[in-house]
């Protein structure tokens, strides 16, 4: 049996953190420190439901990062993976837009990328499309002075050039999904609480 879900992260911390969440939820999960080629060729993936792949592309120029992501996602799709979780940095570092666009395009023409780098338990929230870290826009944190990939924009729809779906009182998973489908092929969605993430 091939994995049902693939996690594609630009560094090992991201793939590991995300894989742990699936393990805690009861999914059989394999973490690979290499790319999809290495992960899919090993015997450890037999019977695994979730495959976490590390692309080590965080510090690459946007064009190179996009190529790496495209190759990995295409391999995973060809292997029969049916759901893709593209892990992005929770402070927007790395080739953020290039990797999201590459993953979406590689997955297929009708793909909708839903973007929400929120993790309320660690102080990361998305409100009105702005990423906050402990109550401050991300550009007012140390991410703005990252020596390799400094973050210059807190408003994620501006960074990605995409649509935004704001939180609405009374949203259900179905109504939220309908609004996302109508918004475009890349959509930033607000989440300020764990309940917001659960709904998403």
The domains located in the chain, with CATH, are 1-110 (3.40.50.10840), 112-200 (3.40.50.10840)
For tokens 């297929």, what's the residue?
Answer: 108
Residue 155, pLDDT score: 98
List the pLDDT tens digit at each of the 200 positions of the chain: 578 999 999 999 999 999 999 999 999 999 999 889 888 887 766 788 999 999 999 999 999 999 999 999 999 999 999 999 999 999 999 999 999 999 999 999 899 999 999 999 999 999 999 999 999 999 999 999 999 889 999 999 999 999 999 988 888 999 999 999 999 999 999 999 999 999 98
Do the beta carbons of residue 72 and residue 35 sit within 8 Å?
yes
Residue 44, pLDDT score: 65
Closest CA to 90 of 121, 113, 62, 64: 121
Distance of CA 116 to the CA centre of its chain: 8
User: Whole-model pTM?
Assistant: 0.92
| 97, two tokens | 């837009």
Which letter does DSSP use for residue 17 in this model?
H
168, containing H or E segment:
none
For tokens 């064009």, what's the residue?
Answer: 63
Q: DSSP readout, 35-102?
A: -HHHHHHSGGGTT-SEEEEE---TTS-HHHHHHHHHHHHHHHHHTT--EEEEE--TT--SSHHHHHHH
Residues 6+ away with beta carbon under 8 Å from 188: 115, 116, 126, 129, 156, 157, 160, 162, 163, 164, 165
CA-CA distance, 174 to 161, in Å (whole number)?
Answer: 25
């Amino acid at each position: 049996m091939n994995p049902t879900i693939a996690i594609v992260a630009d560094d090992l911390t991201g793939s590991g953190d995300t894989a742990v969440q699936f393990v805690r939820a009861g999914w059989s999960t394999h973490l690979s420190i290499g790319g999809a080629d290495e992960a899919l060729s090993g015997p450890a993936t037999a019977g695994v439901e979730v495959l976490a792949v590390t692309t080590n592309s965080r510090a690459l120029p946007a064009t190179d990062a996009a190529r790496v992501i495209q190759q990995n996602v295409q391999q995973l799709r060809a292997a029969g993976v049916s759901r893709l979780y593209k892990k992005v940095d929770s402070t927007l570092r790395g080739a953020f837009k290039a990797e999201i666009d590459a993953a979406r395009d590689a997955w297929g023409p009708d793909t909708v990328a839903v973007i929400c780098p929120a993790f309320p338990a660690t102080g990361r929230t998305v409100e009105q499309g702005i990423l906050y870290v402990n109550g401050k826009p991300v550009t007012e944190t140390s991410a703005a002075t990252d020596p390799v990939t400094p973050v210059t924009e807190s408003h994620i729809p501006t960074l990605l050039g995409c649509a935004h779906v704001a939180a609405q009182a009374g949203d259900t998973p179905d109504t939220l999904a309908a609004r996302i489908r109508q918004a475009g092929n890349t959509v930033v969605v607000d989440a300020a609480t764990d309940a917001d993430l659960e709904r998403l």
